[in-house]
Structure 1
Amino acid sequence: MRVISRYLSGISIKNKIFISNILIIVISISILAIFANIVSQKAIIEKAVNNSSRELVLIDNNLQTLLFSVEDYSKILASDFRLQSVLYNDFLSKKMVDYKPVEGLNNLSMNKTLSETISNIVEPNTKIKAASILTASDQWVDVGFADNRFAARVFGSFNETSDRTLLPAWTGLIKFRFLYEGEDNVFAVSKTVIHKDTGKTIGRVFLYIKETVIASIYESEINYKGGEFYILDRNGKIISSRNKSNLYQDFKEVTSVSNPESFQENNNFIQGSGARKVLVSSHLFEPLHWSIVSVVPVDEITVERKEINQLIIRIGIVCLLVALAVSFRLSRSITRPIFQLSKTIRKIRTGELDIRSSYQSTDEIGYLSEGFNNLMDRIEVLMAENVEKQRTKAEIEFKLLQSQVKPHFLYNTVETIVSLIKLDMKTEAISAAKYMANFYKISLSKGHDMISIREEMLLTESYLEIQQLRYVEYMEYAMDIDEEIMPYSIPKLTLQPIVENAIYHGLKMNKEKGLLRITGRRCGEDVRIEIYDNGAGMDEIQTKAILKEVAGDGVGSGFGARSVHNRIVMLYGYKYGLEIESVLGVYTKVIIRLPLLVPQEG
C-alpha cells in the first residue's frame, strides 16, 4: 500500500483523474454487463415459462373443443332414431327362439341404413376417421373403411349388461387397422346405445380419431427450435408426439426427464446441465387425465441473451476507447460537470427516473446535460404510454380469448340441443347444432383477428338463432345489411358482445316480446353498423358510464361494450368506436363506426 501511495503521490492530478476515470468506466461497464446478463437471463427464462404456459392452455382449450365435439357426435349418433330402430329390430330378432344371423338382402339393407346414418359424422364432414356400429347379434357395420374383424378382436363381442353408462368412453392410443390404409394410431370413443323407449342396451357406437388430428393441435404452437410437445397418459406413456416413433414409449426413457410424476398437476421446472439443460412445462388435461408437456432446450431460449452480451461487449469496448482519448485531454476541464452528470446517471440506474442533471452551461457539457434531460423526459413519457398501451392490449386480448371460447355458451347450447332432442324436436336440435358449429368455426377463424363483415354477420346470426331457440318468448330479430359493405373487414367478435348485452340486459328485462334489429350502411369512407333493441333502455348516467373504466351498476353489462370500443380505438384511432343512444324504458341503440378496409388474406 505504501508503494502504491508513493506512486500516486508522484503523478499529476490530471493523470490521477485519467486513471480514476478509466477504472470507473471499466468497473461500471463490467458491473453493467454482469447485471444485464443476470437480469436478461432471468427475464428470458420467465418469458419462456409464460409462453409455454399459455401454449399449453391453448392446447388444452383446443383439445377440450375436439373432445366435446367427438363426444357430442357419439351422443347424436347413439340417439338417432334410424339407428335405434335398426338395432332394436336386430335385438328383438336375437331374442327369438328360432333366431338366425341376418343374411342376404336383409343384411345388406341393415348395413345400408346404418351406413347412411353414420356417414355424416365421418371424414370429410368431420375430423373423425371412421365409425363402427356393433349390433346385438355381434355384427359390425362401418363407415370410413374400418376393419370390422380387427375391431371385433380389439373390442370383443356384444354384451347387453357389460356397459350401460350414458357417457362416452375414450380408449388410450391403440393401433387400428383400416381396410385400404393399413394400420394407424387412433383413439377410440365408444358409446353404449340405449333404446329410448325400453331402456335396453341394443348396441355400441365406436368412433375413431387419428393421433395426427390430436398432434395437429399443437404442431403450429412450437416457438423455439428444438422444442417438442408431448401428450402422456396417466401412466407416463407417450400417446401423441410429432415424432411418431416415440408413441407408446415411456416419456422418461425418451426425454430423460427424471420426475414425470409431477405432470399430474401444472408445473414448470428446468432440468439437466450444459447443452442438455431443458425447460419442462406440464399442464393436466383433466377430462381424460392426460398430461400436455413441452420440452424446450434452454440454449434455444437464451439465444437472445448471447446477442445481448455481444452487444454489451461491443458497446463497452467503444466506450472504453472513447474514454481513454477524452479523459486524457479533457480531464481537468470536464471533471466537475462529468462528476455531476455521472452522479445523475447513477441515480437513474437505481430507479430514480425523475432525477435530472442540474448542470447548466453554454459549452458542450452543458448541451449534453440539456439533451440528456430532454431524452429522459421523452423516455419517461414513452414508458408511461407503453405501459398504458400494453395494459389496454392485454385486457382486450384476454377478453377476446374468453369470447372466442365462451364455455358457458357452449354448455347452454348443448343443453338446449339435448332438451330439443328429448322433446322430439329433432329438426330444431339439428339446426341448433349447425348454428353452434358455424359460430365456433367463424369465431376461431384460424386465429385471425380480422374477418369480413359477411363472416361477422353469419357468426352473429348463428348466435341469434340459438338464443331465439332458448328465449323465443323474449325476442325476435331482424338484420338489414347492405351488400356493399359485406367484403370489408371488422375485428372478430365485435357484434356478439353488443348483441348479448341487448338480449340479457335489454329484452329479457321486459315482460313483453321485444325486437332486436341490426342494420349496416356505408357512410362516406366509413362503415356504420347499428344494433337497436326496444328493451329496458338506460338512463343518461348509465349511458355515459357504459364506455368508461367503471361501468355504472353492472360491470358485466358494460365490460363487453367497453372492450369492443377500446379495441376499435386501439386499431383505428379515436375517430372510430362505439356510440350509445338510449331512453330508459324505451330503447337502446349502439352505433359502431369502422373504416372501409378489406381484410388481408392470412
Structure 2
Amino acid sequence: MLKKIRELAPKSIRHKLIIASITCILVPAVLTLFIYNSLTQEAVKQQAVANAEDSLTLVGGSVANRLKGMLTIANFVQVNPSLKAYFKLVASGNEVGDKYQRFMDSSRVLDQLDSLTVVGETSYVTILLTNDTYFMNYSVSDYNPLDLKKKPWFGKLTELTGLESYWIGVEETDFAYDKFDHPYQVTIARTLRRDDAEIYGYVVMTIMEDQLHNIFSNLSAGQKVVLLDQFDTIVSGGDPASVGKPFPYADVTNKLKSTTTVSIDGDKYLVAQQQIGFSGWRLVLMQPYKQSIVNISSIFNRVFTIQLISFVVFLALLITLVRTFTKPLVRLGKVTSAVQRGNLHVRSGVRGNDEIGRLGFLFDQMLDRVKEMLAEVSDTQARKRKAELKMLQAQINPHFLFNVLNSIRMKVMKRGDPESAKMIGSLSMLLRMTISREEDEIFLHEEIDLVSHYVGLMNLRQKEEARLLLDIEPDAFLIRVPRFFLQPLVENALIHGLSQHQGQISITAVLQEHYLLLTVEDNGQGMDEEGLKRIGRKIESTESLASAPEEGRSSFSGMGLHNTVERMRMTFGEFFEIKVNSQPGSGTVIEMHIPLKEENRDV
C-alpha cells in the first residue's frame, strides 16, 4: 500500500510546491462554501415551494375560469325564463303557431346558443329533450345528439338535483370535424326539470381537452401539471398519450397535505396540489427538484464564482512564481527525457552562477561528447552494412538462369512462338538490371517493370499462369525505392502462396502524407497461425544478412523476406513498417509503410 502511495505521489519539486499551495488555499475555501451551502439549503427549498405554489395558483385560476365558463353556459340555459318556457312546450308537444312560427322560434333558440359560444374557444352546447327533440350549435352531420343516450354516464343524470352538475371528465372526441386535430373532449351535463322535479330535458356542454392542455404550456422549465378527476384519472396535461389513463403517482400525491418534496423512482420531485372545488377535480404540479431551484441557486453560484475567481487569481500568481523559480529544473528534465528517447541534438541552454546553471552547462558538454562518439560508431557500421549489401546484390542463383533459358529454348524448338522473343527480352532486362546497374535505388516504375518481366518468365516455367494486377497511383511511380525489393515478395507469392498454380498477385501503391503504402497480395493457399508467427519472428529478427545464409537460396536474387526487410530498414531506418496477414485458404497480404525521403516529398 505504501508503495502505491509513493508511486502516485508527485515526483517533481514544482508539482510538490503547487500541490502544497493549492491545499493551503483550497481547504479553507471549500470549508467556507460548505458552511454557506448548509445554511442556504432550507431557504432555497422554501423559495422553490413558494414559486411552485404561485405557478399552480396561476394555472389553477385559468383552468377554473375555463371550467366555470362551461358552468355559466349551462346555468344560462337552465335558468333563462324564455328558454325554459320554450323547451317545456317543445318537450310536452304543445308548441303554438303554424310551421313558420315554430321555425322562427327554433331559429331564435339556436341563435341564442350560438351567441353563448361565439367568443373564445370552441364549445359545443346540446339541449336534448325527453321527446328526442334537440337543439345544438353544431351540425347533426358532425354528431347526432341522440347518441348521447348511448353514453354509459347518461343514466346517472337522473340522480342530479337542482343546479347540480355531472362532470363526466375526458372522453374521445365525438365530433367528426374535430377528431383529427383534437382527439379528446371534456364534458359537463345537467338536467332540466319542471317545478314538480320531473325531467323534461338535458343540457350537455363540451369543450376540447387541448383547451385545458394549452394552459399548461406556459409553465417554467421542468414544471408539469396534470388535471385529475375524482377517480385520479388524467383529464388533461402531461404526455398526450396519458390522457384518460390513471395517474401513476396518485398513491404518492394523495398522501400529501402541502407542497413538499418526494422521491419518485429514485429522483427527487417538488409536488404541489390545488383542489377545484365546484368540480371535485384537482391540479397536481410536479417538477424535478434540481430544476425548481436552478434560478435560486444562481445566487449561490454567483457567490461561489466570486470566491472561485479570487482563488484562481491568487493561485495563478503563486503558480507563476513557483514556475519561475523551477523553470531551469523543468528544462533539464525535458532535455533528459528527449535524450532518453534518442534525441541527441537537443540542448538545455541552462546557464547561471548557481548549482543548476553549472549542472546545465556540464550536461550539454556531455551530450556533445556522446554525439561525437555515436557518429563514429554509426559511420563504421554503415560502411560494414554497405559492404554486406553489395555482396548480397552480387549473388545470382545460376539454377534459375539455367531453368529459364532451357524453358525458352524448349518453347522455341517446339512451337517457334513469338512469345519467345518477349521472354528473352524480359530475361535480358532482368540480367541488365541485376548485373550492369550499380545504383542501389531506382524509381518505382522501374521496379514494377522488373516484377512484370519476372512474373512473365515464371509463367513460362509453370504449367498454369499467374496474373499480375497493378493498381499504382501515378505520383507513386516516381518514388525512389531499393532495387529488387519487390521480387522476393512476388516470388514467395508464386512459389509458396500459389504453389506454381493458377492465381493472381495484386500490387497496390497509395501515397499517404508521410509514407508510401505498398501492398502485395495473392489469393493462394495462405498460412495457418503457426506459419504466420514464424514469418513474424523472421521479420523481427535482428540478425545480419551474413548470419542468415540459408534463407532465400531458391529465390532469383538470393534474398528472402528477411533480407528484403533488412534492406528496407537499412535504407529507411526505424520508420519503415511491414505487416503480414494471412489465413488458410484466403491468401496472404504483405503491407509495407515506406517513409518518404525529402527528395520524394516533392513528387
Give me the TM-score of the superposition, normalised by structure 2: 0.42
Structure number, greater radius of gyration = 2
Give me the TM-score of the superposition, normalised by structure 1: 0.42
